[in-house]
Amino acid sequence: MMKDILAVYLHGITSSQLPDNLESLREIAVKRRFTPDTLLAHDKWDFLIREGEKRARVGFVPLSGLARTKRGIATGANEFFHITASRAAELNLPLHILIPCIGRAVDVHGFEFTDDDIRSLIKNDRRTFLVTFGPTLTPQERQYIAAGEQEGIQTRFLLAARRPWYNMETQQAAQIWAAVFGRQGLRFVHNRTPALTLTTFHCIYPFDTSDRAVAALTLCLNAPSVQAAARAQTRVYGGGLLKFEPRDLLEICVPDLSRASDATLSSLAEEQRRLAGDIRSGMAYDRLDWSRAEQLIENAAAEASQHQAVRSETCPDQIARHRQQAARKRRAGPDVSRGAQPQTLEFPDMWLPVARKLSES
């Protein structure tokens, strides 16, 4: 019979804190004992060893029960496909092949992204347009493609596998963006525009696409209590850098908003807008008051728990079930969480006046 396993965890020790001997190092380390079954039941051990097992939160479900996820667009050559308005005007590219698209996390502040935000980026000549060549090319498009081929862009890894190489993958605009990397945790943004995003963000597509439901879910995902629990799904890289893959996001436990009342959803959405407004006004993230948000989240979980009690199923149970379903889908074919069905994207009319003005200036 296998005995318990002693796990020793060290993290965040500076050179000045290093002890003189191994025994002293062991004394300052975190030590926890686990059964083999406990370790085998978890995909990632970093959080488990650091924090220990956490009791299931009643009324919470994995995000997979409320949304699906996909990575952002991988262009294979951002400097060629993701350009500024002035560059598009210089190349005389037709407006209908330019799609609003965000490529850098620093261009998105706070918990909400609006039409005014993207207009500001366009006016400041940030890289805001994704070039999406169609089946029929204008002379200007052919000239730009030829210039790319002269630089050997078509031989890059992703582009070499595409036919033709300049054919861009299609994607639906996601209602929620999740920052991929971070040292403090994830940041989720309610995208209220038709803009796409590159791989700097993961895309979350809620099943309930109403503005109220999306805002409520964004608030829950950003809440400190939910983020603390979400660290169990984190991949930790050098220097404490955190990374979530799209599949990892699906295992974050949030209140089952599908069971929440209209009043609770409205309150959550209102609180999301308030916090987003605080950030816009210049308030630092670490000074935000999350007390009302946390109470509303508990209220939503309490409402959901009334239904959950009948099923007697908690978030970890559903995560295990989700992993089993994902394994079956991988054996059967592509996983639905890998993204939306391709669709034709059109340049939104709302951006035309801005783009024309820039191209004429």
pLDDT at 4: 75
| 291-345 residue pLDDT tens | 999 999 999 999 998 875 544 455 655 555 554 455 444 444 433 333 333 333 3
| 198-245 residue pLDDT tens | 999 999 999 999 999 999 999 999 999 998 877 765 655 555 556 678
Do the Cβ atoms of 93 and 140 come closer than 8 Å? yes
pLDDT at 341: 33
- Does residue 361 fall inside a structural domain? no
- Does residue 335 fall inside a structural domain? yes
Dist CA 99 CA 309 (whole Å): 46
In a shared domain, residues 218 and 264: yes
pLDDT at 227: 87
| 107-162 residue pLDDT tens | 999 999 999 999 999 999 999 999 999 999 999 999 999 999 999 999 999 999 99
pLDDT at 183: 53
Which among 152, 167, 182 is the end of a domain?
167
Pairing of strands 196-197, 98-102: parallel
**Structural domain boundaries, residue 145:** 133-167
CATH number of the domain to which 104 belongs: 3.90.220.20
Q: Global pTM? A: 0.75
Report whether the peptide linkage leading into residue 255 is cis, meaning its omega lies within 30 degrees of zero. Answer: no
Domain count, the chain: 3
In a shared domain, residues 72 and 12: no
In a shared domain, residues 238 and 252: yes
| 71-112 residue pLDDT tens | 999 999 999 999 999 999 999 999 999 999 999 999 999 999
Average pLDDT value over all residues in the chain:
80
- Does residue 360 fall inside a structural domain? no
Q: What b/e string do you get for 155-190 counting C-beta neighbours within 10 Å, with b at 16 or more? A: eeeebeeeeebbebebbbbbbbbbbbebeebbbbbb
pLDDT at 198: 96
Dist CA 177 CA 141 (whole Å): 31
Closest CA to 114 of 195, 172, 179: 195
Question: Does the pLDDT of residue 352 top 60, yes or no?
Answer: no
